Amino acid sequence: MSKPRLVDAMFLNDGSGKKLVEYNGLSTHVKPVEDNFAFGSSFFEVDTGNVYFFNEESQEWMNPRAQTATAETTETEPVSEG
């Protein structure tokens, strides 16, 4: 099975070590979670058009239109940035 594709990543310039990431993938892909993802990181599902944003406090991907979090936020493998 394919993995989501990292489209962009940049570290915040506030000394926190957090990074703002943007992923594209399918709705069937497990959305990656890392401790250093910043609020506002995004995951675009190309097959559904849904956009999820990362909630740093709850460590969940949230869909603001659906007002729900995905359950796919634990025990994921790190995704390479290259």
Residues 6+ apart with CB under 8 A from 32: 4, 23, 76, 77, 78, 79
Please indicate whether residue 72 or residue 5 has the higher confidence score (pLDDT): 5
Model-level pTM? 0.74
Instruction: Return the number of other C-beta atoms located less than 10 Å from residue 43's C-beta.
Output: 23
Q: What is the pLDDT of residues 36-81, one digit of tens each?
A: 999 989 999 999 999 999 999 999 999 988 765 554 544 445 455 5
pLDDT for residue 3 is more than 90: no
Domain residue ranges in the chain: 5-69
Q: What is the pLDDT of residues 9-47, one digit of tens each?
A: 899 888 888 999 999 999 999 999 998 999 989 999 999
Of 79, 41, 35, the C-alpha closest to 62 is 41
The CA-to-CA distance between both ends of the chain, in Å, stands at 18
- Taken in order 53, 57, 60, 64, is the CA torsion positive or negative? negative
Q: Which residues pair with 77 in a beta bridge?
A: none
